[in-house]
Copies of this chain bind each other. A is one copy, B any other.
Amino acid sequence: MKYFVTGAAGFIGSNLVDSLLEDDHEVVGYDNFSTGQEPFLTAALQHKNFRLVRGDVLDFPALATAMKGCDAVFHLAANADVRFGLNHPERDIQQNTMATFNVLEAMRAGGVKTIAFSSTGSVYGEATIIPTPENCPFPIQTSLYAASKVAGEALIQAYCEGFGFEGYIFRFVSILGERYTHGHIFDFVKQLRDNPAKLRILGNGHQRKSYLHIADCIAAIRYIVELETAKAAPHHVEIYNLGTAEYCEVRDSVRWITGRLGLQPHLDFTGGERGWVGDNPFIFLDTAKIRKTGWTPSLTIEQGIVRTVEWLEQNAWVYDKR
């Protein structure tokens, strides 16, 4: 198969590219390197089956040209900055919603009919059912990031119905692991590099969050897309929550991180049940649907967090890149 991967130099994209190449697929990687990192593609760029195209998903002609001849699209390019969305609303709308529209139009222009999309568990807002299943009550959006992803999901669904596309929508918990370059572990490790004696934590630390390791995330996406479950699905769309069957408190995460680093910093909580406006104090997705297909995660949240800390220690250059 010949796959097109947007956001190919990003955290999730580059891991997917490596995984696809390992199994002898052809891959066209597309990235504008706004947050993507060249070094993440070092191995891929050596591979005969890989072609990198530098371009912006918002540049429609470039996108459509690059996509030509591919069999399926993994659309991972996004503005993944959930917390600071309110500082620049345009960014989420353009980079998540309009970008997804462009990808769909490029697919239509090029006769590509299969798309896998990285959505987010944030689309459930402050869920009324926890763990939250895919068909929970129609939620209210509480962040621009999630709103822009819901919009992307909706467009994909309309294209599946209207143009016979097949869509795979994955609602992720927070993903972590090798090549992770933003999020609370990234921030905590950075803080502790600067000052090992003190750690500032947004909120009261009792926020309950869910995480999934990148290896499990990639395995799940590929497993489902290769199963082609959307072929027979109503409206040619399948939506899957992606996560482990557990959650942790921010305080657990702090304990695992400081434990791995051998530090005992003073913990400075900013207080309140939310870390910021739009922060969701409890994210826990019901993953029964994807587990029923045979997929299960191989790592616990604790294992994922520890491996992430280890990778950040060995790849401190990511802190200088930002």
Interchain CB contact under 8 A, A154 and B141: yes
Interchain CB contact under 8 A, A138 and B140: no
Chain B contacts for A163, CB-based, 8 A: 86
Using known A-B contacts A93-B101, A101-B93, A150-B150, determine if residue A141 contacts B158 with beta carbons closer than 8 Å.
yes
Question: Does A157 interact with chain B (Cβ within 8 Å)?
Answer: yes
Interchain CB contact under 8 A, B235 and A161: no
Interface size class of A (residues with CB under 8 A): 35 or more
Interchain CB contact under 8 A, B157 and A140: yes
Closest to A235 in B: B140
Question: Does A120 interact with chain B (Cβ within 8 Å)?
Answer: no
Interchain CB contact under 8 A, B93 and A162: no
- Mark out the residues of chain A between 134 and 170 whose CB falls within 8 Å of any chain B CB in the assembled complex: 134-144, 146-148, 150-151, 153-155, 157-159, 161-163
CA distance A90 to B101 in the complex (A): 8
Using known A-B contacts A86-B162, A93-B98, A277-B161, determine if residue A146 contacts B154 with beta carbons closer than 8 Å.
yes
CA distance A235 to B273 in the complex (A): 16
Question: Does A246 interact with chain B (Cβ within 8 Å)?
Answer: no
Question: Does A181 interact with chain B (Cβ within 8 Å)?
Answer: no
- Mark out the residues of chain A between 80 and 136 whose CB falls within 8 Å of any chain B CB in the assembled complex: 85-86, 89-90, 93, 97-98, 101, 104-105, 108, 125-126, 134-136
Using known A-B contacts A93-B98, A151-B97, A163-B86, determine if residue A234 contacts B140 with beta carbons closer than 8 Å.
yes
Chain B contacts for A157, CB-based, 8 A: 125, 140-142, 147
Chain B contacts for A161, CB-based, 8 A: 140-143, 277-278
A226-252, CB under 8 A of B: which get 1 and which 0? 000000001101010000000000000
Chain B contacts for A138, CB-based, 8 A: 134-139
Chain B contacts for A150, CB-based, 8 A: 150-151, 154
CA distance A115 to B316 in the complex (A): 47
CA distance A294 to B198 in the complex (A): 56
Chain B contacts for A105, CB-based, 8 A: 89-90
Chain B contacts for A86, CB-based, 8 A: 162-163
Taking the nearest CB of chain B, how far is it from the CB of A73, in angstroms?
16
Given B126, B135, B162, which contacts A137 in the complex, CB threshold below 8 Å?
B135
Ordered nearest first, which 4 A-B pairs have the shortest CB separation?
A151-B151, A147-B154, A147-B158, A141-B157
